[in-house]
Structure 1
Amino acid sequence: MDYLLAFAAGLLSFLSPCILPLIPAYISYIVGSSLPDIQSQRNRISAFMKTVYFVLGFSLLFVLMGLSFSSLSALLTEHLRWLQQAGGVLIIMFGLHMTGVFRMKFLYAERRFTTAGGVRGYAGAFLLGTAFAAGWTPCIGPILSTILIYAGSLGTAGKGAVMLSLYSAGLAVPFLLSSLLLEHVPRILRKMSRFTPVISVFSGVLVILMGILVFTNRLERLGQYSGLFNL
């Protein structure tokens, strides 16, 4: 169950108001040209491959974050239950922030690394992916923080790496699909944009529920009882 939630968290991050409307800009920046200019089969393959490297870039950084949090918590095994409870409270606060109950100003801090004129080559796309992961936005921050806190509460680096790998996969799949459906992306986004407030509230409620489960140590137990989702 927890692994499924990690993948779903990645999908919700993609659908957040700070990423979804900017997908055409992200793809254009990765490829180095506007979407209408990518017409030939060769350019489409290049666009997809650059997106693959972009995805690998942010996935690597997210997984390293998961390993770091899990390794740190492993050193504090004696206080793991306390860390779970503190993490659960923080996750609930993130969820309340996402639903608009109150705002946490520090989550509005954002770091971006850009280069003029787009990226060059696959190495540039990979580096852009790591820069994307390093950017802490008010939309993706609470969801990513929730997964990181929960991964840390598991107490093992292996589980933390799996959790962040699945989160990265949930975020990566729509990016890859967008690079394959370039001509349809603007129209799809126009239809989906009307649902972004609902998605934000739904994400917040899901994060709150996950925080409650982490606080009560129920989330990992649900995963143990649900053999279908155990890896």
Structure 2
Amino acid sequence: MDILLAFSAGLLSFLSPCVLPLIPVYLSYIAGTSATDLKNSPNKLTVISQTALFILGFSILFVLLGISVSSVSRLLSEHMRLVQQIGGALIVVFGLHMTGLLRIKLLYSEKRFLPSGSPGKKAGALVLGMAFAVGWTPCIGPILSSILIYAGSMATLGKGVLLLSMYALGLAVPFLLSAVLIDNLSAYLRKVTKHLPKISLVSGAVMMLMGVLVFTNQLEVFSKYAGLIQL
């Protein structure tokens, strides 16, 4: 349950309105060409390999964030129940923001980063991936923060790292798929983009449910119960 939740959060982050429309821009830097010429990229294998490095870059940063949050939480282990309640409440607030029912001005301040200059010349794909993780946009922030909060409520450091690894994987799979489908990427993105408001609404609803379960400590209980069923 925990792993599926984290992986799904990664997928929802990719589909967020602040990330999905920028996919051609990121791929253009990776490919070393303009966004309009992506379909004419001379070597698809090069684009795919560079995208893999981009993915590795943001995965490293996300896992390091997970380690940091989990380490801090271990220092607060005596007050873990309070940490879970505060974290659950924050996740609900983030969910309300995603649905549009609550507007948090701070979360609309963009922190996007792209290197200046010619595409692919001044920053390697690995560095660009790290920059993507450090300067996440408002849309990915609430979802990532929710996973970080939940990871911080885990009993062990390993579980927190596993959650952030699965989150990174959920974000990585569609990125890599975009590189594979680079020839017709614009057509695919147009089909998905028109559904972004619905995706944001669903994302927010899932986050609010997750927040309530974390607050009441039912998510961990549910996960253990699901594990017993599988056995």
Q: Same fold (TM over 0.5)?
A: yes
Corresponding residue for residue 136 of structure 1: 136
Corresponding residue for residue 118 of structure 2: 117
CA contact (8 A) 1:71 1:155 kept: no
Corresponding residue for residue 10 of structure 1: 10
Question: Deviation of residue 16 (structure 1)?
Answer: 0.5
Question: Deviation of residue 118 (structure 1)?
Answer: 2.0
Corresponding residue for residue 82 of structure 1: 82
CA contact (8 A) 1:55 1:129 kept: yes
Q: Which moves more between the two structures, 221-230 or 1-10?
A: 221-230
> Aligned pair 1:35/2:33, yes or no?
no
Corresponding residue for residue 67 of structure 1: 67
> Aligned pair 1:207/2:173, yes or no?
no
Unaligned 5+ segments in structure 2 are none
Corresponding residue for residue 193 of structure 1: 193
One-letter amino acid of the structure 2 residue matched with residue 175 of structure 1: F
The whole-number CA distance in structure 2 between the counterparts of 1:23 and 1:32 is 14
Name the CA shift for 1:105/1:87 in 2 (closer, same or farther; >3 Å): same
> Aligned pair 1:172/2:209, yes or no?
no
Question: Deviation of residue 112 (structure 1)?
Answer: 3.4
CA contact (8 A) 1:223 1:229 kept: no
TM-score of the two chains, using structure 1 as the length reference: 0.93
CA contact (8 A) 2:55 2:172 kept: yes
One-letter amino acid of the structure 1 residue matched with residue 132 of structure 2: F
One-letter amino acid of the structure 1 residue matched with residue 11 of structure 2: L
The whole-number CA distance in structure 1 between the counterparts of 2:39 and 2:210 is 41
Q: How large is the RMSD of aligned CA atoms in angstroms? A: 1.7
TM-score of the two chains, using structure 2 as the length reference: 0.93
4+ residue segments displaced more than 6 Å: none
Question: 1:154-173 maps to which residues of 2 (within 5 A)?
Answer: 154-173=154-173
One-letter amino acid of the structure 2 residue matched with residue 174 of structure 1: P
> Identity percentage over the alignment?
58
The whole-number CA distance in structure 2 between the counterparts of 1:137 and 1:147 is 16
CA contact (8 A) 2:19 2:137 kept: no
Q: Tell me, what secondary structure is at the counterpart of 2:124?
A: helix
> Aligned residues, how many?
226
One-letter amino acid of the structure 2 residue matched with residue 191 of structure 1: K
Question: Deviation of residue 113 (structure 1)?
Answer: 3.4
The whole-number CA distance in structure 2 between the counterparts of 1:225 and 1:125 is 41
> Aligned pair 1:95/2:98, yes or no?
no
The whole-number CA distance in structure 2 between the counterparts of 1:174 and 1:102 is 29
